Amino acid sequence: MTVRVRLTLWYTALLTVFVAAFAALVYLAVDRQLAGDLDHAVELRAVEVTQAIASAQAGRSGGSAEPLHIPTSSTLTDQPHYVQVVSRRGTVLVSSPALPEPLPITDEARQIMLDGQVTRDVLTLADDQRLALYGAPLLRDETVVGVILVAAPLWPIEQTLAHLRVMLVSAVLGSVFLAGGIGWLLASAAMRPVDQITAVARAISRSGDLSGRLPPPRRRDELGRLAVAFNELLERLDRAMAQQRQFLDDASHELRTPLTTIRASASALLRESGPPTPQPPPRCDGEGEQDAPGLPLSAAAGRGLGGGAFPRQQELRAIARESERMGRLVTDLLALARADAGQLLARRPLMLDALLVDVYQQARRQAPHVRLTIGELEQVEVHGDPDRLKQLLFNLVDNASRYTPTGGTVTLALVAHDGIAALSVHDTGPGIPPEALPHIFERFYRADHARSREVGGTGLGLAISQVIAEAHGGRIEVESRVGAGSTFTVRLPTGAAAPTVLTVL
Amino acid sequence: MTARLLVVDDDAAIRTTLARSLGAEGYAVDVAASGSEALQVARDRTPDLVVLDLMLPGIAGLDVCRRLRAAEQHLPILMLTARDAVADRVTGLEAGADDYLVKPFAFEELLARVRVCLRRREATTRPDRELRFADLRVDPLSREAARSGRRFTLTPTESELLRLFLQHPRLVLSRQQIFERVWGYDFDDDSKLIEVYVRYLREKLEAGGEPRLIHTVRGAGYILRQD
């Protein structure tokens, strides 16, 4: 239930309770008042009748044995009250002519009156007419000789009350509906700035662009302050992210510049000290030194010179290899840090096949110990960030060649089907054990620690590849059988659109 | 004729190492340590290609790039950057760089890019923009082609490959030559890469049932000729 609905419901419910209570009070008060007035009126009438009888008797000298003389004055006939005088024995002595039947009083009530008490009651006549009854003893010379009954019909009061009920109920219902409507409008108006803030926050988190701000609030009320606070928060976040990006850029620059020199220098020295060989021979396993897939000239040059130059060559190769690895580690770490900071992709139309060939060339230089081939190669255009996609594919090829023994084959292929480009990297390596498969895209995950040290990857390549694939609206699938090699397939939509932000892993 | 390169980087170590390594590859290399020096040297020595670091003291790399480009329309500029922030890469290309490399790079990578850039310059500075052979016409810049009135578009790789054939008609081109010219590297390649793109080219060139233009010469390479 939304806050808007809850607010409205609470507001309406409270108002309903108050209005209903008020209406009930009014009703009760009116009811009381009317009933009291009627009681009073019948009592007065009874007194009048008593006095009229008394004054009629006063002119006569007869004792208590003499029958009562009841004056048939207007006292009896005046509407709207019915008057009835009953003797001690229950004989109706006189009765209002309008009264359709004798008033049906109970014997007990009559007895109470004969005992000298007054009585009040509500009677119902045969025609369902309800009457308010007032009965008093009729005294003569201190003796109760009969009973005076005065009754007034209740229908005028009942009618008034019925009207009042209708009025009150409709007033209550009306005000509840009105209150509900107004409450809804008020709640909506109050919540509108909140909706606005929500919309902006959502837009920002979707686009990753922290430069968005809420429009400055018109009033400095609670929501105005919330908007201001929200903008301040965005400002800080924006600045923090900008600082982080700046730091990453600076760190990247500071780390890469010397690495570039080291690599170029080592490469130059290797070139100078050895004859250039177009195709490095397969690397020699079983040697204590790990001859990593390094520079193309590395292996042959040293062997060509032999003897005394060999240690120097080895050292140079170590420098080249480790600086290359260091460079990759820096690149990988920065790539992940940048992905965590939500950096944007620079997407543009690009030919995936040309990109594949680029990676193929680069990987051939760096992994001369495996046979790198290109399988099926369709010409496919995608909308993507060329550097990131190149990094993605290179990481996969690098990973595959690292785990493929000397003489093995790594095959790159590209096919397109139903608007999906499938880049695949197949190797003839040892395969990935099933229990390791779910983890291979985790950062720094190593299936086999001892072996991983040997192969010398950064442990970040696959994690980065996955981030990049997902940022392009694609995904990476792995098929692997122990002993039969693995196939990594990147599926990318060939159309445009899809998310544009490298998101956090 | 040896190509003349200008290497611009404020880091002395990189400058000298690159100069030496590129020199060893047979290029004549000039160096510059700042933006103003780069513009000066570019005027004096008229290099065929500039390797330009994006981060320079004085005049920033991007400005240097723009000015060089303004001075000579077809001068290839290969940008180096240690920052691979998206904005930098994009503005670099917008400022007129032909290609860029993110540090640290393998020297061989730089070499390959230099070769490709120089080849491209060779092509774009030729006066005849449109290349013709028999009933085939190709505009390498827009990659639009037409054969006997049938128009079609080439992908970048197809265009490069076809241009190579059109520039050397009736000559057998070895796989080695094709690799070097189209992809900028020259070592043996046992992949079917060239076959794949030749196949694509043939498909486009012969889509209307026209006779074959690119022929396979067994054991030697490929040739563009009319039967």
pLDDT category at A250 given cuts 50, 70, 90 is confident
* Residues of chain B positioned with their CB less than 8 A from the CB of A323: 104
For chain B, which residues make up each domain, given as ranges?
4-124, 131-224
Do A23 and A93 lie in a common domain? Answer: yes
Give dist(CA A220, CA A210) in Å, integer: 24
- Give B84's contacts in chain A (Cβ within 8 Å): 252, 334, 387
Average of per-residue pLDDT across A197-212: 79
The more confidently predicted of residues A56 and A285 is: A56
Is A260 within 8 Å of B109 when comparing Cβ atoms?
A: no
Note whether A224 and A304 are same-domain residues: yes
Nearest-by-CA chain A residue for B100: A387
Which of A6-20, A273-287, B118-132 is predicted least confidently? A273-287
CB B211 within 8 A of CB B135: no
Using a pLDDT cut of 90, give the percent of chain B over it.
Answer: 28
Task: Name the 3-class secondary structure at B110.
Answer: helix
Q: Is A387's CB within 8 Å of B82's CB?
A: no
- Provide mean pLDDT across the span A453-474: 82
Cβ separation of B103 and A365 shorter than 8 Å? no
Q: How confident is the model at residue A498 (pLDDT cuts 50, 70, 90)?
A: very low
| Residue whose C-alpha is closest to residue A294's, from A373, A402, A372, A395 | A402
Q: What is the pLDDT of residue A310?
A: 59
> How is the beta sheet containing A82-87 ordered, strand by strand?
A92-95, A82-87, A143-153, A130-140, A119-124
Tell me if the domain spanning B4-124 has CATH number 3.40.50.2300: yes
Give the residue on A whose Cα is nearest the Cα of B110.
Answer: A264
Q: Which of A267, A272, A351 sits opposite B157 (nearest CB)?
A: A351
For an interface test with A, give the residue of B55, B79, B89, B103 to mutate (most A CBs within 10 A): B103
Report the CATH number that the domain containing residue A454 is assigned in CATH.
3.30.565.10
B99: closest CA of chain A, how far (Å): 12
* DSSP-derived 3-state class of residue B169: coil
Contact B104 A267 (CB under 8 A): no
- Interface contacts (A, B; CB < 8 Å): 123
Q: Give, as one character, the DSSP assignment of residue A126.
A: T
pLDDT tier at A161, thresholds 50, 70, 90: very high
User: Which of residues A320, A341, A362 is at a domain's end?
Assistant: A341
The Cα A127–Cα B60 span in angstroms is 111
- pLDDT value for A79: 64
Contacts of A374 in chain B (CB under 8 A): 191-193, 196
B26-40, B133-147, B177-191: least confident range: B177-191
Cβ–Cβ gap A361/B183 under 8 Å: yes
CATH class of B131-224: mainly alpha
Contact residues, chain A, for B108 at CB < 8 Å = 267, 295-296, 365
Provide the β-strand partners of residue A83: A150
Between A261, A345, A362, which is nearest B13 by CB? A261
Q: Is the pLDDT of residue A423 over 90?
A: yes
* pLDDT the model gives residue B103: 82
Are A350 and A337 members of one domain?
no
* Contact assignment for A268 to B21 by CB distance below 8 Å: yes
Contact B82 A267 (CB under 8 A): no
For the cut 70, the answer to whether the pLDDT of residue B185 exceeds it is no
Say if residue A456's pLDDT is above 50.
Answer: yes
Interchain proximity A249–B83, CB inside 8 Å: yes
Provide the strand spans (E) within A242-370: 348-351
Q: What is the pLDDT of residue A303?
A: 44
**H-type alpha helices, A403-459:** 449-455
Chain A residues in contact with B200 (beta carbon < 8 A): 379
Examine the domain organization and report whether A228 and A352 are in the same domain.
no
- If asked whether residues A356 and A494 sit together in one domain, one would say yes
Which segments within B39-182 are labelled E, that is strand?
A: 49-53, 77-81, 99-102, 131-133, 136-139, 144-147, 150-153
Residue A312 to chain B, least CA–CA distance (Å): 19
How far is residue B79's CA from residue B91's CA, in Å, rounded to a whole number?
Answer: 11
- Chain B residues with CB under 8 Å of A366 CB are 106
Q: Which residues of chain B have a Cβ shorter than 8 Å from any chain A Cβ?
A: 11, 13-14, 17-18, 20-21, 24, 55, 82-86, 89-90, 102-109, 112, 155-158, 183, 185-193, 196, 200
Residue range A221-229: average pLDDT?
83
User: Rounded to 5, what percent of chain B is helix, strand, coil?
Assistant: 40, 20, 35
Instruction: Say if residue A80's pLDDT is above 90.
Output: no
Asked if residues A459 and A443 have their Cβ atoms less than 8 Å apart, the reply is yes
Question: What is the amino acid identity at position A412?
Answer: L
* A399 and A335 in a common domain: no
Around Cβ A25, how many Cβ atoms within 10 Å?
A: 10
- Portion of chain A with pLDDT greater than 70, in percent: 83
Q: How confident is the model at residue B171 (pLDDT cuts 50, 70, 90)?
A: very high
Residue of A nearest to B15 (CA): A261
Mutate to test the interface with B, among A250, A257, A350 (most CBs of B within 10 A): A257
Last residue of a domain, one of A292, A313, A341: A341
Eight-class DSSP state of B53: E
With b for 16 or more beta-carbon neighbours within 10 A and e for fewer, the B120-150 pattern comes to bbebeeeeeeebebeebbbebeebebebeee
Over residues B98-111, the mean pLDDT reads: 84
Lowest model confidence (mean pLDDT) among A185-194, A329-338, B167-176, B209-218: A329-338
Its domain, for residue A320, covers 208-341
For chain B, give the mean pLDDT: 85
Q: How far apart are the first and last CA of chain A?
A: 33
Same domain for A304 and A221: yes
Q: Do A253 and B55 touch (CB under 8 A)?
A: yes
In a domain, A164, yes or no: no
Which pLDDT belongs to residue B99?
A: 83
Q: How near does any CA of chain A get to the CA of B8, in Å?
A: 14
Of the residues B107, B175, B176, the best mutation for testing chain A's interface (the one with the most A CB atoms within 10 Å of its CB) is B107
* Cβ distance of B109 and A362 shorter than 8 Å: yes
CA dihedral A492, A496, A499, A501 (to 10 degrees): 90
What would the pLDDT profile of B42-91 be if each residue is shown by its tens digit?
999 889 999 998 887 777 888 888 888 888 878 889 988 876 665 666 67
Structure confidence by residue, pLDDT tens digits, A112-124: 888 888 888 888 8
Asked if A468 and A502 count as a contact pair (C-beta separation under 8 A), the reply is: yes
| Backbone φ and ψ of A199, nearest 5° | -60, -45
B contacts of A372 (beta carbons < 8 Å):
191
Asked if residue B24 has pLDDT above 80, the reply is yes
- Do the Cβ atoms of A263 and B83 come within 8 Å? no
Question: Measured between beta carbons, which residues in chain A are less than 8 angstroms from residue B17?
Answer: 261, 264-265, 268
| pLDDT surpassing 60 at residue A88 | yes
Q: How far does A240 lie from chain B, in Å, by closest CA?
A: 17
pLDDT of residue B210 exceeding 50, the answer is yes
**Are residue A37 and residue A79 in the same domain, yes or no?**
yes
Co-location of A504 and A355 in the same domain: yes
Task: Note whether A470 and A356 are same-domain residues.
Answer: yes
Q: Is residue A174 included in any domain, yes or no?
A: no
> Maximum Cα–Cα distance for chain A, whole Å?
169
What pLDDT sits at residue A240? 87
Residue A276 predicted with pLDDT over 50:
no
Question: Mutate which of B89, B186, B191 to disrupt the A interface (most A C-beta within 10 Å)?
Answer: B191
pLDDT of res. A21: 94
Specify the number of domains making up chain A.
3
pLDDT of A420 over the 80 cut: yes
CB–CB of B157 and A354 under 8 A? Answer: yes
Q: A156: cis peptide before it, omega within 30°?
A: no
Of A271, A330, A377, the CB nearest to B24: A271
Q: What is the ipTM of this complex?
A: 0.73
Question: What is the side-by-side order of every strand in the sheet holding A485-493?
Answer: A371-377, A409-417, A420-427, A485-493, A475-481
Report which of residues A221 and A476 the model is more confident about: A476
Q: Would you place residue A290 in the very low, low, confident or very high pLDDT band (cuts 50, 70, 90)?
A: very low
Inside any domain, residue A34: yes
**Min Cα–Cα distance to chain B from A433, Å:** 30
Contact B106 A252 (CB under 8 A): no
Whether residues B17 and A261 touch (CB distance < 8 A) is answered with yes
- Please tell me which of the candidates A261, A272, A374 has its beta carbon nearest to residue B192: A374
Select from A349, A413, A415, A361 the least CA-distant residue to A386: A349
Of B13, B86, B193, the CB nearest to A345: B86
Of A130, A159, A188, the position where a domain reaches its end is A159
User: Tens digits of per-residue pLDDT, A3-54?
Assistant: 888 888 998 999 899 999 999 999 999 999 999 998 888 888 888 888 887 7
A284 and A403 housed in the same domain: no
Q: Is the pLDDT of residue A478 over 60?
A: yes
Average pLDDT over residues A384-393: 88
Q: Which of A165-174, A193-202, A278-287 has the lowest mean pLDDT?
A: A278-287
Q: Do the Cβ atoms of A253 and B17 come within 8 Å?
A: no
- Whether the pLDDT of residue A293 is over 60: the answer is no
Region A387-399: mean pLDDT is: 90
Q: Which of B17, B85, B200 sits opposite A264 (nearest CB)?
A: B17
What average pLDDT score do residues A109-138 get? 85
Say if the Cβ atoms of A264 and B18 lie within 8 Å: yes
Indicate the average pLDDT of chain A: 80
Confirm whether A191 is domain-assigned. Answer: no
Considering the domain architecture, whether residues A395 and A502 belong to the same structural domain is answered as yes
* Interval A178-191 mean pLDDT: 87
B191 to chain A: which residues are within 8 Å by CB? 360, 372-374
Nearest-Cα distance to chain A for B160, in Å, is: 11
